[in-house]
Amino acid sequence: AVKDGVDIINLSVGPKGPTATRTTFLNPFDAALLSAVKAGVFVVQAAGNGGPFPKSMVSFGPWITSVAAAIDDRRYQNHLTLGNGKLLPGVGLSRK
């Protein structure tokens, strides 16, 4: 990604929960993300809500911007219009 000149890496994967060991970020994946940050890439990770305490999340690399999950009960009837004019009904988080 760094060689390709990306500015942002958005990860939709994250740890499932706290690890049993104290060392949490000395693995190849997190080391690669640290290298990307050092090269000027902004790294964002979906961290879920699986932290050890209520309303907490798990994120190992302090160099990564982590985002917790959010749940709401708002759903709006919506649709998707295809190029051939066909409508696909569905729901969305906004009315537009």
CA triple 41-14-18, angle to 5 deg: 120
DSSP bridge partners of 76: 92
Domain extent listing, the chain: 8-92
37, pLDDT greater than 90:
yes
Q: What is the CA radius of gyration of the chain?
A: 18
Is residue 11 a contact partner of residue 46, using CB atoms and an 8 Å limit?
A: yes
15, pLDDT greater than 70:
no
Instruction: Tell me how far apart the alpha carbons of residues 61 and 31 are, in angstroms, rounded to a whole number.
Output: 9
* Digit-coded pLDDT (tens) for 40-61: 999 998 877 777 777 777 777 8
At residue 35 the predicted structure's pLDDT band, cuts being 50, 70 and 90, is very high
Q: What is the pLDDT at residue 38?
A: 94
pTM: 0.59
Instruction: Report the relative pairing of strands 8-11 and 42-48 from DSSP bridges.
Output: parallel
Q: What is the mean pLDDT of residues 79-96?
A: 81
